[in-house]
C-alpha cells in the first residue's frame, strides 16, 4: 500500500497501517558536509581528510550519521504530509547501517506501522518506520519514530484504529472472538493449558488459554507467559498486510523470534498460524486507502 509523495496536509484518519510514502532524491554536497561540521563542531579526520577516510575503507570523507537523520525529516517536510497537522515527534530509535559520502543521492521511505487515538481524542499517534537508501537501493540508515498528529474528527462514529494497534489489550479483545470462532484454533488449543505472549515493538499482551477457551486477556497474567512471540512493528505490519500468511517462512528468516519455553512454542505452532489468520482478518477491517 503506497501513497504519492504529493499528498498534503493529512490528518490522523487519513493514514493506514502499511501505507508507504517515498520521497524524491536528495544529493549530498560538500557544502552540506562543511555546514554540518560547523554546526556540530565535529571536525574529525574521518569527516575532513579524504586520504584518511580512504585508508579506513571509505570512498571519501564520511558524512556524520546524524546528518542522515536530518535528511530523512527534511525530505518528510518537503512532502508536506503532516504540514501543518503534526504536533510533536515522540521518540526516535535509529540504526546506522552504512556510510554516506559526498555525492550520494538519497531517498527516504516511510511506512506507517501503528495508529492509536490519543486520550483526548483530538489527536492520534502514528508509528513510523523509515529507511534511508542510496539511489541504487543500498540502505544506509533505518529507524522508527512515533508522531502525534491532529485528528480531523474527535468523535468518529467508527474508529478502526484498534484493528492494527497490535499487541495492545483492546486489540487482543477484538481478536478474541475471531479466534474462538475458528474451529482450527479451538482444535489446536483443545488440550492446552498455558499463556501465549504476543509482543510488537514495545507493546505486549498475553492470552491465557485453557482447553480451547481464552480465559483472560491482559498485559500480564498471574503465572506469566509460557512463551512470547516477538516482532518489530514493521514485521507485524508487513505480515498483516501481506498477500498471504507466510508466518513460518518469515520466522525462519528472523522477522519473528521467541522467548520462553521452546517446547510450548513448537506445540502451539499450528495455533499461531491460525492466530495470524485472525490478525490479518482483523487488520483487513481497517479500510485501505
For the chain, percent of residues with pLDDT exceeding 90: 88
Q: What value does the mean pLDDT take over residues 259-275? A: 97
In order of 43, 57, 59, 140, the CA distances from 33 in angstroms are: 10, 19, 15, 16
Question: Per-residue pLDDT for 164 more than 50?
Answer: yes
Question: Per-residue pLDDT for 205 more than 80?
Answer: yes
Q: 5: pLDDT confidence band, cut at 50, 70 and 90?
A: very low
Q: 4: pLDDT confidence band, cut at 50, 70 and 90?
A: very low
Please tell me the CATH code under which domain 2-156 is placed: 3.10.129.10
- CATH superfamily label, 166-283: SCP2 sterol-binding domain (3.30.1050.10)
What's the pLDDT score for residue 6? 43
What's the pLDDT score for residue 1? 57
Lowest mean per-residue pLDDT among 8-17, 61-70, 170-179, 264-273: 8-17
Question: Residue 23, class by beta-carbon neighbours within 10 Å (0-12 exposed, 13-18 middle, 19+ buried)?
Answer: buried
CA angle 161, 195, 250 (to 5 degrees): 60
Who has greater pLDDT, 155 or 225?
Answer: 225
Domain boundaries, the chain: 2-156, 166-283
Q: What value does the mean pLDDT take over residues 139-157? A: 90
Distance (Å, whole) CA 83 – CA 67: 22
Q: What value does the mean pLDDT take over residues 81-93? A: 95
CA angle 139, 142, 144 (to 5 degrees): 160
Distance (Å, whole) CA 151 – CA 14: 9
For residue 186 the three cell numbers come to 479451538
Sequence-distant (≥ 6) Cβ neighbours of residue 24 within 8 angstroms: 5, 75, 78, 107
- Give the number of other CB atoms < 10 A from CB of residue 238: 17
Continuous segment of H or E residues that includes residue 205: strand 203-210
Question: Per-residue pLDDT for 274 more than 60?
Answer: yes
What's the pLDDT score for residue 9? 86
Q: What value does the mean pLDDT take over residues 26-44? A: 94
3-state SS, residue 48: helix
Distance (Å, whole) CA 75 – CA 124: 22
What's the pLDDT score for residue 288? 59
Q: 186: pLDDT confidence band, cut at 50, 70 and 90?
A: very high
Amino acid at each position: 500500500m503506497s501513497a504519492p509523495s504529493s499528498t498534503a496536509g493529512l490528518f490522523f484518519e487519513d493514514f493506514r497501517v502499511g501505507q508507504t510514502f517515498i520521497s524524491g532524491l536528495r544529493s549530498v554536497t560538500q557544502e552540506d558536509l562543511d555546514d554540518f561540521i560547523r554546526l556540530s563542531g565535529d571536525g574529525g579526520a574521518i569527516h575532513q581528510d579524504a586520504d584518511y577516510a580512504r585508508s579506513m575503507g571509505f570512498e571519501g570523507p564520511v558524512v556524520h550519521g546524524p546528518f542522515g537523520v536530518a535528511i530523512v525529516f527534511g525530505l518528510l517536510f518537503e512532502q508536506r504530509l503532516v504540514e501543518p497537522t503534526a504536533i510533536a515527534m515522540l521518540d526516535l530509535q535509529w540504526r546506522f547501517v552504512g556510510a554516506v559520502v559526498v555525492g550520494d543521492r538519497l531517498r527516504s521511505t516511510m511506512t506507517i506501522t501503528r495508529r492509536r487515538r490519543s486520550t483526548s481524542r483530538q489527536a492520534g499517534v502514528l508509528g513510523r518506520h523509515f529507511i534511508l537508501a542510496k539511489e541504487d537501493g543500498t540502505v544506509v540508515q533505518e529507524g522508527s519514530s512515533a508522531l502525534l498528529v491532529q485528528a480531523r474528527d474527535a468523535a468518529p462514529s467508527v474508529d478502526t484504529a484498534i484493528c492494527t494497534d497490535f499487541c495492545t489489550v483492546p486489540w487482543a479483545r477484538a481478536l478474541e472472538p475471531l479466534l474462538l470462532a475458528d474451529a482450527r484454533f479451538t482444535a489446536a488449543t483443545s488440550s492446552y493449558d498455558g499463556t501465549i505472549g504476543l509482543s510488537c515493538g514495545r507493546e505486549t499482551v498475553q492470552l491465557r488459554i485453557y482447553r480451547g477457551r481464552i480465559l483472560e486477556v491482559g498485559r500480564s497474567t498471574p503465572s506469566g507467559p509460557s512463551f512470547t512471540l516477538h516482532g518489530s512493528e514493521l514485521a507485524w505490519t508487513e505480515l498483516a498486510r501481506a498477500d498471504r500468511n507466510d508466518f513460518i517462512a518469515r520466522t525462519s528468516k528472523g522477522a519473528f523470534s521467541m522467548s520462553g519455553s521452546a517446547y510450548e512454542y513448537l506445540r502451539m505452532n499450528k495455533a499461531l498460524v491460525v492466530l495470524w489468520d485472525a490478525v490479518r482478518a482483523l487488520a483487513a477491517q481497517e479500510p485501505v486507502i
